[in-house]
Amino acid sequence: MATDTVTEVFEEHRPVLTGVAYRMLGRVADAEDVVQEAWLRWSGADRSDVREPRGYLVRVTTRLAIDRLRLAQSRKEAYVGPWLPEPYVTDFGATVPDTAERAVLADSVSLAVLVVLESLSPLERAVFVLREAFGYPYADIAVTLDRSESAVRQLAGRARRHVEEKRPRYEVDPAEQRDLTERFLAAATEGDIEGLMSLLAPDVRLVGDSGGLAQAPLRVLESADKVGRFIAGISRKGVAEASFRFLEVNGGPALLVLSDDKPDSVLQLDVVNGRIQCVYIIRNPEKLLSLAVD
C-alpha cells in the first residue's frame, strides 16, 4: 500500500476514531493522543492481512483508549470538585444526513450521558460506545475486545441497564434549549433575578467543573434558590471584557463565555418541560484549550 494511500485511508476514518476515543475518555486531548497513537500503529503495521481497515483501526483505537482510561481513573479520583467531560464541539454537517442517526450520535456524546459512562468499567464503556453509539455487531465487538460474544452481550446488558437507570429520562429539543439559554443569559446579565428564577425548575442542579483551577462550586448545587443565588452572585461580579458566543457542544447548543477574547467558561443547560433542570458550567482552563476562537 502506497504511503499516500495509507494516509488517505486513515484520514477517511479519523472522525470515527476520534468519536470512539472521545466517548471513551471524555477529553479531547486524550482522544487526539489515542488517535495519533493509532496512526503510528497503522503506518508501521504489516497491512497485508488487513481486509477491513475501518474495523482494524477501530479495534486499535478502542484498545488504546481502554488502556488510557484505566490509567486515568486514579487521576479522576484526585480531581478537585465535580468532574465533567471536556467540551466537544459537534457539527455533524452533511456527514450525517439521517435525522435519526444524528440524534443517536448527539445523545451518545451529551454531557449527561458521558457523566453516567464515567461509572462504568472500561470494558463496559467500550461495549456501550461501540454498540449504542456506532451500532457495531456483538461479534465485531468481541473481536475488538478479545472476548467471547456471550461475554460481550453480558457486558452490554449491564452497561445498558446502568445507563438507563442513571441517564435523564427526557428528550431535549435543541430549539427550546437554545431559547432558554438566550433567556438565561439575558436575565443573568441584566440582573433580572425574578426572570432568572422563573426559568429554573424547583429541583434544578448546577454542576461546576473547575478542577480547582478557577472559581466554581466544589459541590453540586441543588434547588432553584441555591442555583439562582449563585448565578446572581457571579453575574454581579461579571467577567472582564466579557463577550458571548453560541456553539454546538456535545450535541446541543451551549454558551461560550469569553474574557478578553479568551475562553473563560462553557455553559450548557438541560431543559425539561420548558424549565432549566440542570446547569453545567465548565471553567477548568485545561478543558477549554480545544475551543478555537476566531
User: Considering Cα of 207, then 213, then 215, then 219, what sign does the dihedral take?
Assistant: positive
**What is the average pLDDT across 67-73?**
86
Contact yes or no for 87/287 (Cβ under 8 A): yes
Q: 174-189 and 224-237 helices cross at what angle (nearest 10)? A: 60
Q: For the ranges 2-16, 222-236, 247-261, which has the lowest average pLDDT?
A: 2-16
Instruction: In whole angstroms, give the CA distance from residue 15 to residue 290.
Output: 16
Is residue 94 very low, low, confident or very high in pLDDT (cuts 50, 70, 90)? very low
CA distance 39 to 35: 6
Report the distance separating Cα 71 and Cα 51, nearest Å.
32
Report the pLDDT value the prediction gives residue 97, as an integer from 0 to 100.
46
pTM for the whole structure: 0.85
Asked if residues 250 and 287 have their Cβ atoms less than 8 Å apart, the reply is: no
pLDDT tens-digit series, residues 156-199: 999 999 999 887 766 677 889 999 999 999 999 888 989 999 99
How many residues would you count in the chain? 294
- pLDDT tens digit sequence for 8-62: 999 999 999 999 999 999 999 999 999 999 999 998 877 777 889 999 999 999 9
Range with top average pLDDT, 20-24, 99-103, 237-241: 20-24
Cα gap 109→121, rounded to integer Å: 18
